[in-house]
Amino acid sequence: MAPSGKRLTHNIAKYGNSLINKEQEKAIRETNIAFSFEYYKEIDLFGVGHCDAKWHISIYDRLASLSCLTPKDILEDGRYKETLKCHAIDWSAKNIPIEKKSLNWLPHHVLDGDEFPIMQLSISKGTGRIIGFFDKDSFVFNIILFDPNHNLQPSNYSDYKMRPTLIGTSQYDDLLGKLIVIRDEMSKCPQTSCILNAHIDNIENTHNIIYVGLDADFYEQYIEIIKTHSLRDIVEEGIFKFMTE
């Protein structure tokens, strides 16, 4: 039993019948765990930008060791459950900083029901938790958050207080941010013919990389389309459509 009273089992969702038989279900439960980052995000209090290299190495080590286990091992074997601190998230816990419904990028059958509980797995005592869920008929554990500061399940270990984190950025995001700062500063320069402005414009127009964000509904449609078309195909088709209007 989890602290919240829910059993951590590989249940069949009430949102649909299982597509596999009992024998196949047993085989899945005894297949080594794989990990997906399809639903991973950084949000306030759950960033990893402040974490050092040792923390990231501990993540890789933990994922490697978990990949040698099966869903049955971590959900039913008491030895592993205790070592991994594996339990469903108690959404009524004291001082918990977020509500389940705030994880609005997750599939509806996970967000709205209890058949697929969001759970935690320990990285180590000092380095936080991995937060995610097993989907229907699957040995894939979907990682949704990293919790380096133990913020999702506050305890007397931290005096039930939230410890802030920093949202991490990629090297590209970091360079783009610095470029924006420089461009904003250069816009104040009274010399409109300054050669630096031309250099900045040239940098912005030569990388041919585009970052976009999609809301939840569009993202679900995108996931379906990307199964049969490349991202490049999608973007080029959209551009072509606007060009021919």
Q: What is the pLDDT of residues 48-93, one digit of tens each?
A: 999 999 999 999 999 999 999 999 898 887 788 888 989 999 999 9
H/E stretch holding 59: helix 53-66
Of the pLDDT bands very low, low, confident and very high (cuts 50, 70, 90), residue 179 is confident
Identify the residue with better confidence: 44 or 222.
44
The token pair that represents 215 in the structure block: 């809301």
- d(CA 89, CA 119) in angstroms, rounded, equals 5
The token pair that represents 132 in the structure block: 């995610």
Range among 4-13, 170-179, 199-208 rated most confident: 170-179
Domain chopping of the chain, boundaries: 22-158, 171-243
Residue 214's contacts (CB-CB under 8 Å, 6 or more residues apart) are 222
In sign, the C-alpha dihedral spanning 102, 7, 119, 5 is positive
Identify the residue with better confidence: 220 or 130.
130
- What 3-state DSSP class applies to 47? coil
What is the overall mean pLDDT for the chain?
A: 83
Nearest partner of 37 among 167, 144, 173, 172, judged by Cα: 144
E strand residue ranges, the chain: 34-36, 87-88, 119-124, 128-134, 140-147
Q: Is the pLDDT score of 156 beyond 90?
A: no
The token pair that represents 12 in the structure block: 């069949």
CA atoms within 13 A on the CB side of 69: 20
User: What pLDDT, in 10s, does the model give residues 194-232?
Assistant: 777 666 666 656 566 666 777 777 888 888 888 788 888
Identify the residue with better confidence: 46 or 29.
46
71 neighbors 34 (Cβ within 8 angstroms): no
- d(CA 90, CA 87) in angstroms, rounded, equals 9
